[in-house]
Amino acid sequence: MHASHSTTNDIFKIGADGVDVDALMAGIRESVTRKMESGVYRDVRVALAEKSNLVNIKDDESFLKFYIECLRNAVFVDINDFEIQERRRLGSGLLVILKKGMWALLKFYTYRLWSQQNQVNGLLLTAIEGLDDKYRNRIRDMETRLAALEGPRGKTESCPPPPSV
């Protein structure tokens, strides 16, 4: 017997003889949820945008709206302090003290870089949104003008013949 599991939200299929696929998938979802809550995945929206590229690429307008919304949510770099942790067991206390000392020395420069990056990110997003609005409005106006030129039946009105001499 071969176990297999797939839903429309799954990226890939998992299957093997003697494997409890539902339990495995539940474990993966639990692990992802736990990691998201602990901050391992800082901004899942960007990953979601990348995952959705294949689905949304068929509709350029909704894809662009979705991607700009993801950019809006992720545009600014978080410049707040974060807890310094060490995953290695051997000498972890000493490594944390060393990292905190380095962070204290570099914080001034890091904050300046982060604030400049946030400024650039904000300006770029504003420019992208402005261009999107500009060209979306131009296209709408052109479609309106084209519909008016095509007339009530959707056919282009013919010009009158030139006068005979």
> Is 51 a domain residue?
no
> Is 95 a domain residue?
yes
Rounded to two decimals, what is the model's pTM?
0.49
Structure-block tokens of residue 165: 């001499």
The per-residue pLDDT for 87 is 80
Q: Which residues fall within 8 angstroms of residue 70, CB to CB, at 6 or more apart?
A: 45, 46, 48, 49
> Is 70 a domain residue?
no
Nearest-5° angle of CA 149, CA 153, CA 156? 35
* DSSP result, 45-60: HHHHHHHHHHHHTTSH
Q: What percent of the chain has pLDDT over 70?
A: 67
Question: What is the largest distance, in Å, between two alpha-carbon atoms of the chain?
Answer: 101
> Is 26 a domain residue?
no
> Is 44 a domain residue?
no
The per-residue pLDDT for 2 is 46
Fill in the DSSP letter of residue 130. H
The per-residue pLDDT for 161 is 63
**Which residue range(s) make up the domain with 121?**
84-152
> Is 14 a domain residue?
no
The model's pLDDT over 13-66, given as tens digits with 9 standing for 90+, comes to 656 677 777 777 788 778 777 766 766 555 555 555 555 554 545 566 777 777
> Is 43 a domain residue?
no
Q: How many domains does the chain have?
A: 1
> Is 133 a domain residue?
yes
The Cα 1–Cα 19 span in angstroms is 10
